[in-house]
């Protein structure tokens, strides 16, 4: 396997309802990630983005977003209808091929134009769950209830509210091999990255467990900081258990903005190494109802 590192990260942060187009919102974030990397835009060998046209309310919105990348001369690019963490994963896979050394992964989400309580219903099983129009807060509540009944969380955390729905964007630059050390004083090497998914249909899942997070996860590896895509206290508890995170691990949580927070968590895990001198961190991303899909990315700084 080629060693791949994150060498830069930029994010808009969580924004209240933006007036900008998705492309306009992305433009400064991508530019900042590229500038921070010190690598010329023309050296990017592969680009992958994460976004959901259902948020934008516009088919092929992700195609227009490439104007923020600069797609002339033509570039090699791909897109995932997922959080940017999965775009980072695809970029990592692409770099393994060995013919390109630099990749850009980014994502964006404008949740403020629609009601996520409706939009996210469409990601559920269309036969038995979607017709219930159970919003993501209510489904999270089912998992919280299951966790409380199993004694995993206090009763007070069994009641969940509708999560925030901000707008935002994030971008990272990945570099393979020694070039990462040439452009970055303290790159964050991707020591492990994996994603797994649990069954789509809620009825066959044990909501007190997150097998896909455990399967994708840390194993016995120690980390100092964990950035978890947990929207609610019970999700943090369940993820800590699945990933085997002890009390000594510094944990940061949040799952907002949609499509971006996972990539932001990995970016923050990078910053912990790059700026705060940490040695080993993990960024986690999640997708689907009740932590159905999970991506885990373990980062390591040079000793």
Partner 1 sequence: MTDTADTTEGPVRFMPQLIGLDYTIRTNPVAAAFGAALAEGHITGHRCPSCQRVYSPPKGYCPICCVATGADDLVEVADRGLITSWTVLTPIQYAGQKEREDYALASILLDGADGTIGQQRLVEVPLDEIRMGLRVEAVWAPPGEREGDDRGYGLGTAVSGWRPTGEPDAPPSAYQDHTL
Q: Which residues bind partner 1 (CB under 8 A)?
A: 17-21, 23-24, 27-28, 31, 41, 54, 57, 67-72, 112-115, 118-119, 122, 126-127, 130-131
CB of 49 to partner 1, least distance (A): 15
* Closer residue to partner 1, CB minimum distance, 68 or 102: 68
* Closer residue to partner 1, CB minimum distance, 130 or 150: 130
Gap between the Cα atoms of 187 and 182, Å rounded: 10
CB of 17 to partner 1, least distance (A): 7
* Closer residue to partner 1, CB minimum distance, 119 or 297: 119
Give the tokens for residue 109: 């989400």
* Closer residue to partner 1, CB minimum distance, 114 or 197: 114
CB of 69 to partner 1, least distance (A): 8
CB of 130 to partner 1, least distance (A): 8
* Closer residue to partner 1, CB minimum distance, 63 or 221: 63
CB of 64 to partner 1, least distance (A): 9
- Omega of the bond leading into 229 within 30 degrees of 0 (cis): no
Q: Measuring CA to CA, which residue among 187, 224, 212, 222 is closest to residue 285?
A: 212
């Amino acid at each position: 396997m080629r060693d791949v590192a994150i060498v830069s990260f930029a994010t808009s942060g969580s924004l209240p309802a933006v007036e900008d187009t998705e492309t306009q919102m992305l433009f400064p974030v991508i530019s900042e990630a590229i500038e921070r990397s010190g690598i010329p835009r023309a050296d990017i060998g592969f680009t992958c983005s994460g976004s959901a046209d259902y948020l934008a309310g516009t088919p092929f919105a992700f195609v227009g977003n490439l104007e923020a990348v600069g797609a002339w001369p033509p570039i090699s690019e791909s897109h995932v209808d997922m959080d940017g963490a999965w775009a980072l994963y695809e970029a990592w896979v692409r770099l393994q091929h060995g013919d390109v050394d630099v990749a850009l992964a980014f994502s964006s989400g404008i949740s403020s134009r629609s009601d996520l309580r409706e939009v996210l219903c469409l990601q559920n099983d269309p036969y038995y769950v979607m017709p219930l129009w159970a919003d993501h807060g209510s489904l999270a509540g089912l998992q919280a209830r299951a966790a409380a009944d199993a004694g995993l969380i206090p009763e007070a955390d069994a009641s969940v509210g509708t999560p925030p729905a901000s707008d935002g964007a994030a971008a990272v630059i990945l570099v393979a091999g020694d070039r990462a050390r040439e452009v970055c004083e303290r790159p964050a090497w991707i020591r492990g990255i994996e994603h797994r998914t649990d069954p789509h249909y809620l009825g066959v899942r044990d909501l007190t467990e997150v097998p896909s997070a455990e399967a994708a996860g840390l194993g016995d590896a120690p980390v100092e900081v964990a950035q978890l895509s947990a929207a609610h206290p019970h999700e943090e508890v369940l993820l800590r258990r699945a990933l085997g995170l002890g009390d000594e691990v510094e944990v940061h949580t949040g799952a907002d903005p949609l499509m971006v927070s996972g990539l932001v968590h990995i970016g923050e895990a990078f910053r912990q190494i790059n700026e705060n001198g940490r040695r080993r961190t993990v960024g986690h991303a999640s997708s689907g109802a009740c932590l159905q899909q999970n991506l885990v990315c373990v980062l390591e700084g040079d000793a």
